[in-house]
Amino acid sequence: MKKLRFLPIFVIAATIFSCSSDDDAPTTPPTGGPTLDGIIATQDDDDLIVADLKGNVTGNITLAASEDWVLTGPLTVKSGSTLTIEAGTTIKAKAGVTDVYLAVEQGAKIEAEGTASAPIKFTSNASNPRPGDWGGIVIAGKTPTNKGATAESEVAGLNYGGTDATDNSGTLTYVIAEYTGAKINGDQEFNGISLYTVGTGTTINNIAVFNGADDGIEFFGGTVSVENILCVNIKDDMFDFTEGYNGTLTNLFGVRESDFNDGTEDPRGIEGDSNGSNNAATPVSKPTFEKVTVLNLSKITALKAGAEIRRGTEAVINNLFFGTLNGASFGNRIDTKDDKGNGTITITNAVYQGVVGVDNLGGTITGTFTEDTAAITVGADDVVTVKAGVGADFSKFAWTNYTVKK
């Protein structure tokens, strides 16, 4: 009779593991293998770890939607490299650490192409997530800034600035960023998305920032135009620009919900600067906004202004709506006066409803607001709707599944 032979269990295990794909990123740091060096050069690099995502990307790397990525430190895409993030990917950031962020250097690219049915999501890994749990997304390009030939970013230490207005930093579309805004110190704090001199060759649209501890999205110079931006419960400014930003921003919807009880000392819907040290420094910030809605539904915290346009800025806003409910308020609708230099703004089709302050005429404001007491309606389940054609088109954000409630 033949005797059955049983292989030791460690031999079986070794055989099974040896059959796994070399292309799969490890879920935990390797043991007994090569020493990790913090550089992700190839798709099968030992440093590309699903549960410990961080390091310098020096090759063309893809983050697959099938993996449960956890961002645990700085992930920096180096010049000449491309980080691709598949549609439907979720990246959870380690909470409570100030150096957890995604950065894209000058000369590098991010290709984060989500879809309406499969957006890309950056969020916190905390069981009880809060604003400021992690940094955010920082991208640097090569267009001019009025801070000089080149400059260094407030966070992530990226060089930015240059002469190429058509610079291409890749694609960011159908992307959600939540619980961003980690604070390093009193002068350094991440925004949800920070764009440093990003050029027109870059494609950015369909962006949502929820529960940010600083600004929702900020442009530091740059020429990139962006369409469809949703900012919800942002502690500081919803939409911010400075340092000579020249682009067109279309369909912006910002809201503070009724139970929102947090905020900085001077939050605004839009904050626009050019250069506080030299208002004539070029390029001067001259953005155009098309279709903007800013709602404050919280009677606990007021917005200092619907828009503050200052320090040499020249802005145009077409189709603007400021609205309030629940006894909420704005300090001013538009403020153009500042001790470091006034601003200039032209508004057309500007509408307001509720208590939204007055216009501060310290600088130059061309155009006036019209009151429409029926611009906001509250329907079933306290769903808030803004009249069609007034301000932003909220239907463009259906992909987020977000609903404004009274």
Q: Check which CATH number belongs to the domain holding 52 and give it.
A: 2.160.20
Number of domains comprising the chain: 1
User: Is the model's pLDDT at 326 over the cut of 50?
Assistant: yes
Give the span between the Cα atoms of 137 and 100, in whole angstroms.
10
**Assigned domain for 24 exists:** no
**Assigned domain for 20 exists:** no
Query: What SS3 state is found at 296?
Result: strand
Q: Are 106 and 160 in contact (CB under 8 A)?
A: yes
Query: What SS3 state is found at 85?
Result: strand
**Assigned domain for 103 exists:** yes
Q: Are 377 and 325 in contact (CB under 8 A)?
A: no
Pairing of strands 82-85, 109-113: parallel
Q: Which of 173, 55, 202 is nearest to 112 (CA)?
A: 173
Cis peptide before 283 (omega within 30 of 0): yes
Confidence of residue 18 (pLDDT cuts 50, 70, 90): very low
pLDDT computed for residue 188 by the predictor: 86
Q: Are 340 and 310 in contact (CB under 8 A)?
A: yes
User: Is the model's pLDDT at 1 over the cut of 80?
Assistant: no
**Assigned domain for 377 exists:** yes
**Assigned domain for 2 exists:** no
User: Is the model's pLDDT at 135 over the cut of 50?
Assistant: yes
pLDDT computed for residue 29 by the predictor: 57
Q: Are 318 and 289 in contact (CB under 8 A)?
A: yes
Write out pLDDT tens, residues 257-293.
999 998 888 999 999 999 999 999 999 999 999 999 9
Structure token pair of residue 357 = 């302050």
Confidence of residue 5 (pLDDT cuts 50, 70, 90): very low
Domain that holds residue 193: 41-400
The DSSP symbol for 310 reads B
Residue type, 98: T
Q: How many residues does the chain have?
A: 406
- Distances from the Cα of 35 to the Cα of 45, 46, 265, angstroms: 11, 9, 47
For the ranges 169-173, 183-187, 305-309, which has the lowest average pLDDT? 183-187
**Assigned domain for 213 exists:** yes
Write out pLDDT tens, residues 364-401.
999 999 999 999 999 999 999 999 999 999 999 999 99
Write out pLDDT tens, residues 233-250.
999 999 999 999 999 999
pLDDT computed for residue 187 by the predictor: 75
**Assigned domain for 247 exists:** yes
**Assigned domain for 26 exists:** no
Give the span between the Cα atoms of 267 and 344, in whole angstroms.
20
User: Is the model's pLDDT at 304 over the cut of 80?
Assistant: yes
pLDDT computed for residue 360 by the predictor: 85
Per-residue pLDDT, averaged over 182-206, amounts to: 93
